[in-house]
Amino acid sequence: MPLVQDRSFMNMALEEAQKAAALGEVPIGAVLVVEDKLIKGHNRVIIDSDPTAHAEMLVIRKAAREIGNYRLVGSSLYVTLEPCIMCAGAIVQARIGRLVYAARDERYGAVESLLQSFDLGLNHKPQVISGLLQQQASQLLKTFFLKKR
- Give the model's pLDDT for residue 123: 86
3-state secondary structure 133-145: CHHHHHHHHHHHH
Mean confidence (pLDDT) of the chain: 95
Q: Which of 56, 82, 106, 112 is catalytic?
A: 56
Alpha-carbon gap, residue 53 to 87, rounded angstroms:
10
Is 121 exposed, middle or buried (CB count within 10 Å of its CB: 0-12, 13-18, 19+)?
exposed
Q: What is the pTM for the complete model shown?
A: 0.95
Strands 29-34 and 98-103: unpaired
Q: Catalytic residue at 56? A: yes
pLDDT confidence of residue 18: 98
pLDDT in tens, 84-102: 999 999 999 999 999 999 9
Task: Write down the pLDDT at residue 1.
Answer: 54
Exposed/middle/buried for 110, CB within 10 Å: 0-12, 13-18, 19+? buried
